[in-house]
Amino acid sequence: RMPSCLLKLSRVLLSNKLRALFILILMLLSLGYLTLYWRTVEDSNDSALYSSPLESSCAPSVPFSQPQPSGTPPARGSVFFVETSEQTKPGYLFSCSVESAARAHPETSVVVLMRGLEKGNASLPKHWVFSLLCSFPNVQIRPLDLPELFSGTPLEKWYLWPLRRWEPYLLPVLSDACRIVLMWKYGGIYLDTDFIVLRNLENLTNSMGIQGDDVLNGAFLSFSPKHEFVELCMKDFVENYNALIWGHQGPGLVTRIFKRWCPTKIIQSMSCKGVRALAPKVVYPIPWQNWKKLFEAASALELQKLLNNSFAVHVWNKLSHSTRLEIPSQALLAQLYSQFCPATFAKMRQD
């Protein structure tokens, strides 16, 4: 027989089922609204750094720099950038990242994949960044076709789950997914759009950078196609997926796979079964805790020391995006712009 307390509870629920249903619907709507709000805020923050204040600075519609037949895959060994939001008006840092990579790799295709671009459209939006970047013959700006990218990989079914769009960190998680699939399918180099490239990265094969505190970061990846390490990353991405923990599919993913790959409990500058963990100075010379140093004046000696030891500088856009950069100035970041993305720097000075 049903205990009396459970019997009373069931009667209460039945007598108030309309009210309970109303409360449940209200809670679900509130959760959906909050999720959409935070995704919108995060998207705007990630793309806000040094964006152009003038709509009049937009350039006329320009063709893709190197038109490709429909469905033509990127060349193997390319340098890849990915924009998983719908935005099509990137800012100065985005422009500098791609420009600096194009200058450092003149013989290599630099492929920029943007989700907001219309597939099959032969022209780019009216914005100065596209005109500037298309002046580099090795830069290709293409639509990001997520179903096509993920097809034939463990992430295909993961991406197609209908409720995926409501997850709180969807945009950064999509970026985490894209980079490992690009490395698996095509190999080459992946960079976040808040890097300034100082010199050619192609000798850093099958490697990632240590950001500090025993943590690897996937903002820079360099792998040969179909590498076993990347395959393990794809499988772990799906099998141990957690949408509620920030960075679980990003730094957390590459860190735990590397510790299994070696195996090791402590990550330091090392090479293990052909995969390298690079010292922080190589691609993360400014620790995220010290990101404000980018906006402080740097002497010629400090700058030269950085250039001698590092291949790229990560700007930590999520932390630094709202900080004003004076142009021109002796700030470290301003000097990096001036030297490694001079066309973007000229546009900044103009604005």
pTM: 0.82
Burial of 152 (0-12, 13-18, 19+ CB in 10 A): exposed
Q: What is the pLDDT of residue 224?
A: 97
Q: What is the pLDDT of residue 123?
A: 84
Give the Cα separation of 121 and 31 in Å (integer): 36
Give the number of other CB atoms < 10 A from CB of residue 289. 11
**Ramachandran sector of residue 273 (left: φ over 0; alpha: ψ -120 to 50; beta: rest):** left
- Residue 73 phi, psi dihedral angles, 5° rounding: -70, 155
CB 159 within 8 A of CB 176: no
Find where tokens 């709507």 sit.
29
| 79-279 classified as CATH 3.30.70.2190 | no
Q: What is the pLDDT of residue 21?
A: 62
Q: What is the pLDDT of residue 213?
A: 87
Q: Show the beta-strand stretches assigned E in the chain.
A: 79-83, 110-114, 139-143, 188-191, 195-197, 207-212, 215-223, 270-272, 275-278, 312-314
pLDDT by 10-residue block (mean), the chain, 351 residues: 52 58 59 45 39 32 42 88 95 98 98 92 89 97 96 95 90 96 98 98 97 95 98 97 93 97 95 97 97 97 95 97 94 98 97 93
Give the number of other CB atoms < 10 A from CB of residue 274. 13
Looking at the chain, how many residues does it have? 351
CB 103 within 8 A of CB 96: no
Q: Which of 285, 275, 282 is nearest to 233 (CA)?
A: 275
Q: What are the residues whose beta carbons fall under 8 Å from the beta carbon of 284, sequence distance 6 or more?
A: 209, 210, 211, 212, 217, 219, 314
Give the CB-side neighbour count of residue 287, counting CA atoms within 13 A. 7
